[in-house]
Amino acid sequence: KVKDLSSKYKYIRRTRPDGNCFFRAFSYAYLEHLLTDKNEYNKFYEIAKNSKEILVALGFPQFTVEDFY
């Protein structure tokens, strides 16, 4: 299996198998992709910059959202 994977992928990142491993692996892969794609990075930055206000407008408590900023 390792030889087959090494022919298709440069790196392997182990994730904790806790039920969120797909989302964690996808997030890491996407963030690593942002390092190489400036346009995609700028789109992501704008969405992330405005996300606090959007979450509060959707009804999330301000103090809860602020934990992530």
Check residue 17 and report its DSSP letter.
-
* Residue labelled with tokens 């994977």: 5
pLDDT in tens, 52-68: 999 999 999 998 888 87
Is residue 13 within 8 A of residue 22, CB to CB? The reply is: no
Q: Please tell me the predicted confidence (pLDDT) of residue 68.
A: 78
- pTM for this one? 0.67
Domain residue ranges of the chain, discontinuous segments joined by + = 16-66
Record the tokens describing residue 59, joined without a space.
């009804």
Backbone angles phi, psi at 19, to 5 degrees: 95, -15
pLDDT in tens, 18-55: 999 999 999 999 999 999 999 999 999 999 999 999 99
